[in-house]
Amino acid sequence: MVLSSNSQNNQVITRFAPTPSGYLHLGHAYSAFFAERAARSREGTLVLRIENNDKTRCLEKYEKALVDDLTWLGLSWKNPVRRQSEYTQDYLKAVSKLKDMGLIYPCFCSRKDIWNKVNLISNAPHNAVIGGLGPIYPGTCRSMTSDEQENRILSGHQYAFRLDTMRAIRLVKSKQECFHWEDLDYGKQAAKPEIFGDFIIARKDGAASYHLSVVIDDAAQRVDLVTRGDDLRDVTHIHFLLQKLLELKSPRYQFHRLLLDSNGERYAKRNNAQSLRELRNQGITPAQIIKNLGFSLL
């Protein structure tokens, strides 16, 4: 384990950042305790963020329930709680900044368009899928002329914004030598945002992508140790790139294992994971959950 000699070690701020699109399950509880213990072991602070940027999936009843569940588990955090839905303007400002830097472009492609193109240029399309983000964007709209962009927009075509990732990397590299982020357990990691291709910065409905909002939120909440599941390790490459472009400080990262249920499946809404409230209704206590997750009761 790489221990930083940084004197801020004892003032670490970690965060738990659930998406209120369903009830919390044991996987969330594990992640929340991991973040809380990471802060506590360094006499630091835990903050909470409600990642409710996606209005189509997030409901207020889940937000209320998650605060209630976390409190029932005995977790506490430093207020204020940050709710993404209250910071739309901040995300839009960042989109404008990237636009002014000439680093994003409108993309009119549908999912189907992208898959068709990917299938056309590759015999093994599954190789083009990375990090659960879908296929690597084949760059269809990247070199569209501004006249063509304007025509499409004027005729009512919906569009997302994508980052021209290679251009962004060149820009950052031209200004600084160091191009790595820090994994608390494994040390310096060479940043490789190119593996994701041109990813989405703002969606067709105008909302900022998860990647854009998360780096803005972490900086705004002064998070200096991001703890999260191993499934989000790879996206750190693009979060690092966005931090550099937006001149935000890069936190350190620590990843935890993904909790598996008795069938060896990941706890997830789509696997019908039992919610914390169901366990609570069955008479399971917070202490039992904490012990079961492998954390000490302190």
β-pair partners for 181: 189
**Binding residue count for ligand GLU, defined by CB under 6 A:** 7
Shortest CB 218 distance to ligand GLU, Å? 8
As a whole number of angstroms, the distance between CA 155 and CA 147 comes to 12
Shortest CB 22 distance to ligand GLU, Å? 10
Nearest CA to 69 among 229, 286, 282, 291?
286
Shortest CB 17 distance to ligand GLU, Å? 5
| Span from 13-21, 240-248, 266-274, 286-294 in contact with ligand GLU (CB under 6 A) | 13-21
In the chain, what's the furthest Cα-to-Cα distance? Answer: 64
Q: Which is nearer to ligand GLU, 141 or 209 (CB)?
A: 209
Q: Which is nearer to ligand GLU, 17 or 212 (CB)?
A: 17
Shortest CB 160 distance to ligand GLU, Å? 20
| Span from 14-22, 120-128, 142-150, 266-274 in contact with ligand GLU (CB under 6 A) | 14-22
Are 94 and 62 spatial neighbours (Cβ–Cβ below 8 Å)?
Answer: no
Q: Is residue 198 a contact residue for ligand GLU (CB under 6 A)? A: no
* H or E, element range at 16: strand 13-16
As a whole number of angstroms, the distance between CA 95 and CA 265 comes to 37
Q: Is residue 22 a contact residue for ligand GLU (CB under 6 A)? A: no
Q: Which is nearer to ligand GLU, 103 or 226 (CB)?
A: 226
Q: By CB under 6 A, name the one of 12, 17, 70, 163 that touches ligand GLU.
A: 17
Q: Is residue 19 a contact residue for ligand GLU (CB under 6 A)? A: yes
Shortest CB 5 distance to ligand GLU, Å? 26
Q: Is residue 18 a contact residue for ligand GLU (CB under 6 A)? A: yes
Shortest CB 89 distance to ligand GLU, Å? 21
Q: Is residue 232 a contact residue for ligand GLU (CB under 6 A)? A: yes
Interstrand relation of 225-229 and 252-256 (parallel, antiparallel or unpaired): parallel
Ordered DSSP codes for 126-169: GGGB-TTS-BPP--TTTT--HHHHHHHHHTT---EEEE-HHHHH
Q: Is residue 228 a contact residue for ligand GLU (CB under 6 A)? A: yes
Nearest CA to 235 among 180, 188, 196?
196
As a whole number of angstroms, the distance between CA 65 and CA 82 comes to 16
Q: What share of the chain is helix, strand, coil (3-state, %, to 5)?
A: 45, 15, 40
Ordered DSSP codes for 35-59: HHHHHHTTT-EEEEEE----TTT--
Q: By CB under 6 A, name the one of 38, 201, 214, 245 that touches ligand GLU.
A: 214
Q: Is residue 209 a contact residue for ligand GLU (CB under 6 A)? A: no
Residues 44-63 that bind ligand GLU (CB under 6 A): 51
How many CA atoms lie within 13 Å of 11's alpha carbon, on the beta-carbon side? Answer: 4
Q: Is residue 221 a contact residue for ligand GLU (CB under 6 A)? A: no
Which residues sit at the interface with ligand GLU, rule CB under 6 A?
Answer: 17-19, 51, 214, 228, 232
